[in-house]
Amino acid sequence: MLYINGRPVNPLMSFLMSALVLAGMVLLGVLLLPVIGGILLFVLLLGLAVVLYGVYWRWRHGDPLKKMQQDAMQAMQSRAWASESCAESAADAVRQTDEAMRGNEVRTGVRRTTTIEDVEVVEEIRRREVK
């Protein structure tokens, strides 16, 4: 028997207890392998589901980057068209207002886009009461 810090210590018992603790940890790890494997399988299936949904969404709705490019091109074309036909749009707005008052359809407002000194685009919506 050894004495460490004034206490009796049996080296054989210390070694056996350490071996027992390590064996218990290994046994616990082996018993938990199916649980860990099940969790990993669930995570992989969840990732596969997300990928398949992404493929379906892209097939159903198209390429989002291409759609953003097309929307940007349409916005640029509409801005160019609006700046070229500012005077025409004001006349069209007045004509549409007159037609709306005469027609059966009810309109809640007229939108007019005005470019001021080629710097700022101002959109004005003139509202009128619907009776």
Q: Which residue from 110, 106, 112 is spatially nearest to 131, judged by alpha carbons?
A: 106
Q: Extract the residue ranges of the chain whose pLDDT is less than 70.
A: 82-95, 97-131
Relative orientation angle of helices 64-84 and 11-61, to the nearest 10 degrees = 40
Confidence (pLDDT) at 47: 97
